[in-house]
Structure 1
């Protein structure tokens, strides 16, 4: 199973009432998180993925709150089979200045073994 799918399943169980997506939804819900893998490597059968998790909400404050919740639950991602570490790398405001869609994002480095 791809790490994105593991992360998707994990966040769906941890983020009650929040839509979790692997691509931007056409009909955008009020709250959602989007998982985007932005890079990765493999050395000696140990894989590393750089993953952005984008939190979208109706206000900037609510987007920050959702991002904080995401960062908190990601601490437990190491409990998933074959995931050895999940390290936060960056966080910040990603508000779309054209559409005024309020978004925050956090980047994580995840180390794991492929199934």
Structure 2
């Protein structure tokens, strides 16, 4: 194999550094089993597309404080979005971000 055989097409593999860092942050947020369970739960949430923090904590069998810790990481990565109604925060997936992130791994 000569040097030319190992060279990748630059147009296919060239990705902006900021995009790589953003995706790395998303994957790091998803690397924790509890956070992944939160994301899976929200993905299967149904028509409403959102759940309160206490609903998620109760369904996962974790404390609300632990949920808040994990949701902060997911929120900072952009994986989830929150909406406040009164004193209750409702969480939903940022489906577009996740679709774009995973689609970037399998370009057409």
Does the alignment reach a TM-score above 0.5? no
Task: Give the TM-score of the pair, scaled to structure 1.
Answer: 0.31
TM-score in terms of structure 2 length? 0.33
Larger Rg: 2
More strand per residue: 1 or 2? 1
